Amino acid sequence: MSENVITVSKLDLWYGAFQALIGVNMAVEKQKITALIGPSGCGKSTLLRVLNRMNDLIPGVKITGEVLLEGRNIYAPGVDVCALRANVGMVFQRPNPFPLSVWDNVAFGLKVAGQRGGQRVEEIVERSLRGAWLWDNVKDKLDHSALELPLDQQQRLCVARLLAIEPEVILMDEPCSALDPIATAKIEELMLELVQKYTIVIVTHNMQQAARISHYSGYMLLGEMIEFSETNRIFTNPKDKRTDDYISGRYG
């Protein structure tokens, strides 16, 4: 039986007077990759940021509708937003490691959560770096600044930093757009590995990437979810002509 980790229902979002999301419905299945695609400004990044309340930081945002994480509304009063973001982590377009050592980047979340050094932290750091396929690259320079790493390793370090705090869901906002094709392929393979344990939602303006790695795809246009389905169906036989036009490059 498939199980949905996140369910978005009738979601509307306004930035001031501008409505950026209109009646969006979406279900994110556990341990699958869900991709959001669509032209620039269609609302895909906004929708992604709804899932761990990153939009809360933007003034003038108003949200109605429901976003359930494991059955609980994340917009209900009294929700611990820090705990939510630990459970629903995010990887951004540009790798954003802290200006700290490789080790401290990965251990950072643990320290925030109150774990202070010792065997357990060591174990978690190594396991997280291995989980992000980075251990072999950095095991001899754990005390080097993270900013010295090549971009793709920095991006995988950001993934390792998330893994350390064991989120359930990983959100990725165009995680490969700053990377070359080889580095992109590595991140994609990593995602296919991670999805055995984690649930991933990715925003990508690279349609081919969505096709290659995702299990479900949602095509968005002007704030609406035009079509949401299995990726196989979206890329071989979409139901909506607007999806077909976008996928086949006639529009967008």
- Of 35 and 54, the one with the shorter C-beta distance to other proteins is 35
User: Which residue of 56, 122, 148, 189 would you call a contact of other proteins, by CB under 8 A?
Assistant: 189
Q: Are 160 and 131 in contact (CB under 8 A)?
A: yes
User: Binding of other proteins at residue 21 (CB under 8 A)?
Assistant: no
Characterize 198-222 residue by residue with b for buried, 16 or more Cβ atoms within 10 angstroms of its Cβ, and e for exposed. Answer: bbbbbbbbebebbbbbbebbbbbbe
User: Binding of other proteins at residue 128 (CB under 8 A)?
Assistant: no
User: Binding of other proteins at residue 236 (CB under 8 A)?
Assistant: yes
User: Which residue of 163, 235, 242, 246 would you call a contact of other proteins, by CB under 8 A?
Assistant: 235
DSSP 101: B
- Of 127 and 186, the one with the shorter C-beta distance to other proteins is 186
Least spacing, CB of residue 179 vs other proteins, in Å: 14
Stretch that binds other proteins, among 13-21, 104-112, 137-145, 231-239 (CB under 8 A): 231-239
As a whole number of angstroms, the distance between CA 166 and CA 95 comes to 19
Residue type, position 31, single letter: Q
As a whole number of angstroms, the distance between CA 201 and CA 116 comes to 31
Which tokens go with 109? 């979340």
User: Which residue shows structure tokens 């196989």?
Assistant: 232
- Of 85 and 215, the one with the shorter C-beta distance to other proteins is 215
User: Binding of other proteins at residue 231 (CB under 8 A)?
Assistant: yes
User: Binding of other proteins at residue 186 (CB under 8 A)?
Assistant: yes
- End-to-end alpha carbon distance in the chain: 36
The footprint of other proteins (CB under 8 A) covers: 185-186, 189, 192, 208, 211-212, 231-232, 235-236
